[in-house]
Structure 1
Amino acid sequence: MLAGALVALSAAPHAISPHTIAVAHADPEPSTKELRAKALKLADDLEQLTEQYNGLKVKLAQSQRAAKVATENAERQEKSLQGIREKVGTLAATSYMQGGSDPAVSFVASQDPQAVLDQAATLNYFAKQDSTKVLGLMQAMQAAQRARKAAEARAQQVKQLRTELDSQRKKVTDTYEKVRGKLVDRDPSQLASLPVIGTGKAAQALRYAMGKIGRPYVWGAAGPTSFDCSGLTMWAYKQVGINLPHYTGSQWNAGTRVSRSELQPGDLVFFYADLHHMGIYVGGGKMLHAPHTGDVVKIASMSGRPFAGGVRVA
């Protein structure tokens, strides 16, 4: 084999040169301390992004309310417009029979009444009229058009804000998951110090439960100083207004079933065929749970126990 390699090199003496050989140098992996510092900086960035997210939610709600009001106003003006159209019908019919080019007729019949109103002659005509019916028709049509345009503008704003909202949500989640994953792979114990992402009740319940890390397992206990496995989940969800029974079998039926790949932070996770143990999913294949007598509430890997399923309560 060595002889064959030498023959190949002699046949192409310029194919490989010491000056063209690239030596790959891998960037040194950050230390756990550096990774933690980066994670803490990220936590601050995530807080800013979360407030932007909350701000967009407020603006979105405001735009939705404004769009609803504008649409209702347009509908009211349309009803008013239809009534005035019927009242002015006689005026239009008479003008047609007389063969005249009454601007009122053009105004009533036109598909684009604003274009008719924009004509100087038409405006001059209406300025000289004493007919409250004609003036009322003009005002109602203009008001309906303004209201409709306002509704369309608000609807467009709602759509744009929703896009921004979704973009911010994805940015927060993706950035967090990337850095959290690196840190947890290096040191699983760091997971407890990282923020829980999300504004829903499941994320809030998980935050409450995380605050109980280190509290002792006591059979039949449901907080606030000691817990068993279903007592911990019951207590955490009670803090956000959701009442769960103090029994794993009942909590198994308290929400929507989700697969292991669909789990999100705050979901309930169950183990063994008889569902005799459970915890709260925190992400990265790990859960927060109250293990057994002599142990404390802590974060642990879900591996090593037969996974029965997940339940999304909120």
Structure 2
Amino acid sequence: MASHRKPRQRPLAGGTVRTAATLALAGAATATAFDGTSQADPRLTPTQVKAEVDRLYVEAEEATERYNGAKEKTDRAQRTLNALRDEAARRTARLNTARNALGSLAASQYRSGSLGPAAQLALSDDPEEYLERAAFLERAGDRGAVAIASVQRQLDEVRALRAKADEVLEGLRADQTRLSRNKAVVEGKLAAARRLLARLTAEERARIEAADGPGTDVGSGGGRTDRASRGGGGTERTAPPSGRVQAPDPRAAQAVAFAYGAIGKPYVWGATGPGSFDCSGLTQAAWRSAGVSLPRTTYTQINAGHRVSRSQLAPGDLVFFYSGISHVGLYIGGGRMIHAPHPGAPVRIAPIDQMPFAGASRPS
């Protein structure tokens, strides 16, 4: 009789054990490398971390401006869709009223016209009265034809409005997909920057923040102060140096005054105020306070108004940076601007030579 016992398992030989262990360690190392958190990775110096974080912030801002553009388009499409739906509802109500009136007219004609004209004339006690009534019915028939044509026209209009609404809705959904994709890119870049900064000590992070250039210190008392000089020292102040804004016209002066009032408020990507801003949100809000409507994104704001050269800059001008036109600030004179730099850095004053200059425009 054949034995049904399981064959005895032999232990791994020494060489086999070493091979398996090597493969397991290699797999673990590979997984750790993909995770990007290996303690065995060479530690980046604070200077290298700053360079990488700066790169991530620039890429995040490019994605932020794409997000801003997609959101503006999405909001516009949503407003158009709402208007189309409202108009379709109003016209549907009028159509239903016209249909009810047409139904009443048809029922009346049916009741009065159940007998043929010859029979009604033959049976009428007063043929003259019948002829008068027949003329009235003929006119009523004309009105019925007009009512039918009106209902048909209104029905066509409602159908056209609904078709247009469906088309806008389809585009809106595509815009929302792009919006979500851009949002994910921004959040991914910012999360990567936070992970890098988390590797540093508090002192190292403070040095990196200081290396961003002169700007705003938020004191323990909540007041906002500006380190005016390029070296970061100088007299602290909460208002323009002369007590009033030097600008070529009142609207530019108002825009600059608004920007001064925003100093110290946090950078939040996608924000347009009043409590927080991203770079283009700040410049848009500043000029809006002066009664001038600017587009939402950096790459559209640069075409607002007219271009000016760097040598012709005046307070209130918009100054743009990087080859992708991904950052903007509000020029205040003296080679300086007020801008919203990036997450963790509030609205502040900085020199315009802090970043690669890409152009300038003067809103009008």
With normalisation by structure 1, the TM-score equals: 0.46
Q: TM-score, normalised by structure 2?
A: 0.40
